[in-house]
Structure 1
Amino acid sequence: MSLTNQTRLLPWAGPEGKPCYLAGDGTGYLSRLADNMESAQLGLAGELVQEAQRVLDGRQWTPGELHLLTVQLTEALTNVHRIAVSRGARLPAPAYDDIGALDKPDDEDDDQDAVQPVQRG
């Protein structure tokens, strides 16, 4: 698939919660808007993780605080998952043809580029 024919899962949902996709080469206004939104979502998720750690370390919370924290963490995790799926889908395909070749036992290894252990003495 060429870069111009690629679709991108956007970091927001459309009407009725359905995923939104953008077709293009990744250089237009909507692509930049999506990049900025992903950056903001990842930043907020990082801040929320720090807040969650602070709340949990304090060991003094109300059920309401834990409920709110759970709701916020779920939302942040949903956003981060969507970003990971979107970015993963845009990665180039592996250069090798047979993924099963990666699972060969060591005694069948005929790869000249294989990493050999180094002993230090």
Structure 2
Amino acid sequence: MNTPHTPRLLPWTSPDDKPCYLFTDREGGYVARYADDVEALQLAMGVGLLEHARDLIGDPAADARQLRYLSAQLSAALRDAVRVAESRGERLGDGDAPSDQRL
């Protein structure tokens, strides 16, 4: 007997900023592999942004505009990282997060 798979939270949202899910009983399909690649890219970009943040925060010549932009980019990177963590946690069977807490 086949067991149903938990829908996978994808690392992107719909145009109206709603979560997107992948419903499939197939492991390693094209969309799942693409989502894995997007997640890896999002996390790598977050690491790069943290390195940039360290440099910019330590620069006494950095102005408020630069720091606001950095803040917005760090916020987006954190949102992506939380979405990746939530998706991976759900796939591990850790579905304890309330659905109203989703990003």
Amino acid aligned to 2:42: Q
Shift of 1:29: 0.3
Higher CA-based Rg: 1
Q: Which residue of 2 aligns with 1:23?
A: 23
Q: Which runs of 4+ in 1 moved over 4 A?
A: none
Shift of 1:26: 3.1
Q: Which residue of 1 aligns with 2:90?
A: 89
Q: Which residue of 1 aligns with 2:7?
A: 7
Shift of 1:23: 1.2
Structure 2, unpaired ranges of 5+: 95-103
Amino acid aligned to 1:54: D
1:69 aligned onto 2:73: no
Q: Provide the C-alpha distance between the structure 2 equivalents of 1:82 and 1:92, rounded to a whole number of angstroms.
A: 15
Deviations 1:34-55 (A, max 9, x none): 0000000000000000000011
Shift of 1:27: 1.1
Q: Provide the identity percentage.
A: 37
1:37 aligned onto 2:38: yes
Amino acid aligned to 2:11: P
Q: Provide the C-alpha distance between the structure 2 equivalents of 1:53 and 1:37, rounded to a whole number of angstroms.
A: 24
Q: Provide the C-alpha distance between the structure 2 equivalents of 1:83 and 1:61, rounded to a whole number of angstroms.
A: 31
Q: Provide the C-alpha distance between the structure 2 equivalents of 1:41 and 1:28, rounded to a whole number of angstroms.
A: 20
RMSD of aligned residue pairs (Cα, Å): 1.6
1:80 aligned onto 2:81: yes
Q: Secondary structure at the match of 1:20?
A: strand
Structure 1, unpaired ranges of 5+: 94-121
- Structure number with greater CO (CA < 8 Å, separation at least 6) is 2
